[in-house]
């Protein structure tokens, strides 16, 4: 027989706790296995959240949920199927009783349009072409000259950190090994006007920046623009290539 003194030792207490946990886990596993067989927990609804460019039906078709699928089935295979979509960067799938799967999508957002042999196509900040048809969906995005990863990374960072600047970018291109030229509209990008070269120049602002520029530094253009407008000075170009300075070149 095991004495009361031995049962009171720490080692026996730990074994007792582990045994209790094992019993609880076995009971939970058994309850879950039983629930999987119940029609009450069949998946009847799929709720798609977070999509902006991806069609919800595309997500549902990729899930391939069987008609007898249970809410208590392993969710990881569903997640992996959706993750194969080229425009998906992350997926989270949760359960809502009694029969709904909630699929929350994080998309790879398009940051620029790039001219290709097939026309202007959307790309993300990592240089991946995204399966979005610009002819079917309006894309208010800047045009980037090439799939240069430095340019796309910069535009993606601007979209994330300085949306006011991103909303005004019309074009981005290199003008040298260590220099980038941003062409900004003076209003919103969608408010462009048709006209000759002079009209184009009057509605755009050139901003020269060095490769590796801190995105937050672009916010410096706003007080400069405000000050120049107050003085009724018409600026054609702002230069941010010099440390702690914004050089304005007037027209």
Q: What is the mean pLDDT of the chain?
A: 82
Alpha carbon separation from 147 to 4, 95, 120 (Å, rounded): 75, 40, 12
Structural domain count, the chain: 2
Q: Average pLDDT, stretch 138-148?
A: 92
CATH code of the domain in which 57 resides: 3.10.20.310
The model's confidence at residue 199, banded by pLDDT at 50, 70 and 90, is very low
Instruction: Output 20 or 185, whichever has higher pLDDT.
Output: 185
**Which of these, 132, 195, 197, 127, lies nearest to 155 by C-alpha position?**
127
Of the candidates 53, 86, 107, which is a domain's last residue?
107
The model's confidence at residue 195, banded by pLDDT at 50, 70 and 90, is very low
Q: Average pLDDT, stretch 218-225?
A: 91
Q: Give the Cα separation of 198 and 154 in Å (integer).
A: 28
Q: Average pLDDT, stretch 38-53?
A: 87
Q: What are the structure tokens assigned to 175, written together? A: 């003008």
The model's confidence at residue 30, banded by pLDDT at 50, 70 and 90, is very low
Report the pLDDT value the prediction gives residue 136, as an integer from 0 to 100. Answer: 84
Q: What are the structure tokens assigned to 140, written together? A: 């208010």
Expressed as residue numbers, the domain containing 168 is: 112-250
Q: Specify if 26 maps to a domain.
A: no
Report the pLDDT value the prediction gives residue 251, as an integer from 0 to 100. Answer: 74
Whether 202 shows a pLDDT value over 90: the answer reads no
Q: Average pLDDT, stretch 171-194?
A: 79
The model's confidence at residue 21, banded by pLDDT at 50, 70 and 90, is very low
Q: Specify if 16 maps to a domain.
A: no
Instruction: Output 12 or 125, whichever has higher pLDDT.
Output: 125
Three-state SS string over the chain comes to: CCCHHHHCCHHHHHHHHHHHHHHHHHHHHHHHHHHHCCHHHECCEEEEECCCCCCHHHHHHHHCCCCCCECCCCCHHHHHHHHCCCCEEEEEEEEECCCEEEEEEEECCCCEEEEECCEEEEECCCCCECCCCCCCCCCCCCEECCCCHHHHHHHHHHHHHCHHHHCCEEEEEEEECCEEEEEEECCCHHHCCCCCHHHHHHHEEEEEEECCCCHHHHHHHHHHHHHHHHCCCCEEEEECCCCCCCEEEEC
Q: Average pLDDT, stretch 186-212?
A: 66
CATH code of the domain in which 176 resides: 3.40.50
Most confident of 24-28, 194-198, 206-210, 229-233: 206-210
Exposed (0-12), middle (13-18) or buried (19+): which is 166, by Cβ within 10 Å?
Answer: buried
**Taking the alpha carbons of 225, 228, 233, 236 in that order, is the dihedral positive or negative?**
negative
Report the pLDDT value the prediction gives residue 137, as an integer from 0 to 100. Answer: 85
Q: What are the structure tokens assigned to 232, written together? A: 């009724």
Of the candidates 63, 86, 107, which is a domain's last residue?
107
Report the pLDDT value the prediction gives residue 36, as an integer from 0 to 100. Answer: 55
Q: Is-contact 144 170, C-beta < 8 A?
A: no
141 Rama class: left (phi>0) / alpha (psi -120 to 50) / beta: beta
Whether 242 shows a pLDDT value over 60: the answer reads yes
Residues 243 and 150 in one domain: yes
The model's confidence at residue 233, banded by pLDDT at 50, 70 and 90, is confident
Residues 159 and 246 in one domain: yes
């Amino acid at each position: 027989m095991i004495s009361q003194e031995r049962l009171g030792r720490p080692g026996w207490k730990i074994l007792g706790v582990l045994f209790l946990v094992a019993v609880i886990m076995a009971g939970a596993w058994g309850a879950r296995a039983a629930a999987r067989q119940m029609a009450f927990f069949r998946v009847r609804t799929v709720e798609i959240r977070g999509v902006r460019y991806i069609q919800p039906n595309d997500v549902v078709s990729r899930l391939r949920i069987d008609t007898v699928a249970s809410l208590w089935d392993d969710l990881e295979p569903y997640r992996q199927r959706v993750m194969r979509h080229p425009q998906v960067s992350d997926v989270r799938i949760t359960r809502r009783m009694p029969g709904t799967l909630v699929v929350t999508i994080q998309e790879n957002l398009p940051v620029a349009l790039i001219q290709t042999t097939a026309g202007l196509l959307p790309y993300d900040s990592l240089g991946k072409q995204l399966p979005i048809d610009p002819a079917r969906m309006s894309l208010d995005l800047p045009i980037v000259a090439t799939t240069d990863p430095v340019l796309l990374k910069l535009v993606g960072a601007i979209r994330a950190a300085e949306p006011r600047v991103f909303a005004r970018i019309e074009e981005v291109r290199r003008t040298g090994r260590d220099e980038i030229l941003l062409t900004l509209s003076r209003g919103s990008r969608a408010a462009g006007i048709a006209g000759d070269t002079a009209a184009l120049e009057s509605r755009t602002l050139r901003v020269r920046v060095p490769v590796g520029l801190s995105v937050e530094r672009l916010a410096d253009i706003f007080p400069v623009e405000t000050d120049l407008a107050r003085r009724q000075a018409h600026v054609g170009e702002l230069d941010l290539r010099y440390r702690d300075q914004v050089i304005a070149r007037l027209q």
